[in-house]
């Protein structure tokens, strides 16, 4: 770092931190969905990345429809598309839970393999429908451009929007988990499935809702993803390992841990990427996390209930 002046370094750090914030938003949304599915229910959803890609494709398709049939609606479609991405992914999630996952709850390792099979099928479906080339939706004008704080320091508006979106979703999810009756039922089911069933909670319904909610949040992550990158059939699979590490490093059952670890991982990657060429920044980050997890497997915020 010797060749940079301290002022340049400061600017680099701030700029990279802001670009890290976009990555943080995507990782956080991916992680929150997984934290519900994996952390709370113990299901390893390897197709989670494909749900994210589905959300991104939904936004792309909406953008395509809007620009073809209703150009006047152009500036506003994005908000509707985010909602639609959530609904589409949640519906597919409910279908997957009904057809596949619910038969495998007692075999967690096998959910991993079955959902991997699902991810292959989904990837090929995207390839058949949208083609192998990466696609980008036309973003509305108000999302483009950047806000110049001072010379050499630009903050992109889309990044701020995505960050705001993920903060809103996080708060909504935490409220939902800890203030609603469904959240109470879900937490009860996680802690003791048999007792919850005995006191009259429909645990099968709770499972399905939780799974489709997780998938829906992955869909929103996909919508957020379209603002920072272009979507291809394998876009989702590139984020799946990061997303799992976010959940595991945060402490599997902790939503707050998820926020902290997503922030740490995204910032470390984006700052290191500037100073180390190519993939070395990512390798260094992942290596640190994996070694940390070997030493402290319970993550940053270990859950209160932890059985062996």
Partner 1 sequence: MPLFFRTLFKTRGEAIAFGGFLLLLLVILPLALPIFRLNLVGKYLTFGFVAIGLVLLWGRCGILSLGQGVFFGLGGYCMAMFLKLEASDPVTTAIQSTPGIPDFMDWNQITQLPLLWEPFKSLPFTILAIFIVPGVVAFIIGWAMFRRRVGGVYFAIITQSIALIFALGIDGNQGFTGGRNGITDLRTLLGWDIRTESAQYMLYFLCVVLLFAVALLAKYIINTRLGRVLVAIRDREDRVRFSGYDVAMIRAFIFSFAAMISGLGGALFVLQVGFMSPSIVGIVPSIEMVIFTAVGGRLSVLGAILGCLIVNFGKTMFSEAFPDLWLYLMGGTFIAVVMFFPNGLAGLLEKIPTSKEKYLQMLGRSKKPTPTSPTTKVTSLSDEQ
85-116 burial, b if ≥16 CB within 10 A, otherwise e? bbebbbebbbebbeeebeebbeeeeebeebbe
Taking Cα atoms as reference points, which of 229, 223, 240 lies closest to residue 56?
A: 223
Q: Which is nearer to partner 1, 12 or 104 (CB)?
A: 104
Instruction: Name the one range near partner 1 by CB under 8 A: 74-82, 84-92, 106-114, 174-182.
Output: 106-114
From the list 116-124, 162-170, 219-227, 257-265, the region that binds partner 1 by CB under 8 A is 116-124
Side-chain-side CA neighbours of residue 215 (13 Å): 28
Given a contact cutoff of 8 angstroms between Cβ atoms, the answer to whether 33 and 177 are in contact is no
Near partner 1 by CB under 8 A: residue from 191, 197, 256, 274: 191
Angle between helix 203-225 and helix 181-191 axes, rounded to 10 deg: 110
How is residue 28 written in tokens? Answer: 């956080």
Q: What is the rounded distance in angstroms from the CA atom of residue 279 to the CA atom of residue 306?
A: 35
- Determine the interface stretch with partner 1 among 34-42, 81-89, 133-141, 263-271 (rule: CB under 8 A): 34-42
Shortest spacing between CB 280 and partner 1, in angstroms? 5
Within residues 242-271, the interface with partner 1 by CB under 8 A covers 244-245, 248, 252-253
304: contact with partner 1 by CB under 8 A? no
78 touches partner 1 by CB under 8 A: no
Asked if 131 touches partner 1 (CB under 8 A), the answer is no
Q: Name the minimum Å distance from CB 152 to partner 1.
A: 29
284-303 binders of partner 1 (CB under 8 A): 286-287, 289-290, 293-295, 297-298, 303
Residue with tokens 């997890």: 293
| Cβ distance to partner 1 smaller for residue 51 or 244 | 244
Q: How many residues does the chain have?
A: 308
**Residue placing its CB nearer to partner 1 in the complex, 173 or 246:** 246
Our finding on whether 190 is near partner 1 (CB under 8 A) is yes
Element (H, E) at 146: strand 146-150
Residue ranges in 169-188 that form contacts with partner 1 under rule CB under 8 A:
none
Do residues 29 and 239 make contact, with C-beta atoms less than 8 angstroms apart?
no
Give 3-state DSSP helix, strand, coil % of the chain, rounded to 5: 75, 5, 20
Q: Please state whether 81 falls in left (phi above 0), alpha (psi between -120 and 50) or beta.
A: alpha
Would you tell me how many other CB atoms lie within 10 Å of the CB of residue 275? Answer: 13
Min CB(308)–partner 1 separation in Å:
6
Nearest in space to 246 (alpha carbons), one of 166, 139, 138: 166
Determine if 204 is a binding residue for partner 1 (CB under 8 A): no
| Interface with partner 1 in residues 217-246 (CB under 8 A) | 241, 244-245
Binding site for partner 1 (CB under 8 A): 38-39, 42, 44, 100, 103-110, 112-114, 116-121, 123-124, 127-128, 190-193, 241, 244-245, 248, 252-253, 277-280, 282-283, 286-287, 289-290, 293-295, 297-298, 303, 305-308
């Amino acid at each position: 770092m010797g060749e940079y002046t301290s002022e340049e370094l400061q600017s680099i750090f701030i700029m990279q931190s802001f670009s890290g914030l976009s990555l943080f938003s995507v990782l956080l949304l991916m992680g929150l969905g997984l934290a519900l599915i994996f952390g709370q229910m113990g299901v390893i959803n390897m197709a989670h990345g494909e749900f994210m890609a589905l959300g991104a494709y939904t936004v792309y398709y909406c953008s395509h429809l809007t620009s073809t049939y209703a150009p006047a609606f152009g500036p506003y479609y994005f908000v509707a598309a985010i909602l639609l991405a959530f609904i589409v992914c949640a519906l597919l999630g409910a279908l997957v839970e009904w057809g596949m996952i619910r038969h495998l709850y007692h075999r967690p390792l096998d959910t991993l393999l079955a959902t991997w099979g699902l991810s292959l099928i989904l990837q090929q479906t995207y390839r058949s429908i949208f083609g192998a080339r990466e696609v980008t939706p036309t973003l509305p004008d108000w999302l483009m451009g950047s806000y110049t704080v001072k010379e050499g320091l630009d903050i992109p508006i889309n990044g701020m929007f995505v960050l705001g979106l993920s903060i809103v979703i996080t708060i909504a999810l935490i409220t939902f988990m800890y203030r609603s009756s469904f959240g109470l039922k879900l937490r009860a089911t996680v802690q003791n499935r048999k007792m919850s069933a005995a006191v009259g909670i429909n645990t099968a319904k709770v499972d399905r809702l939780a799974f489709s909610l997780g998938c829906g949040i992955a869909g929103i992550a996909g919508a957020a993803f379209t603002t920072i990158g272009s979507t291809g059939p394998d876009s989702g699979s590139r984020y799946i390992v990061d997303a799992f590490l976010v959940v595991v490093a945060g402490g599997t059952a902790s939503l707050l841990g998820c926020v902290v670890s997503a922030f740490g991982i995204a910032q470390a990657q984006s700052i290191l990427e500037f100073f180390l060429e190519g993939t070395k920044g990512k390798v260094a980050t992942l290596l640190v996390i994996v070694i940390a997890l070997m030493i402290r497997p319970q993550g940053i915020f270990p859950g209160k209930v932890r059985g062996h």
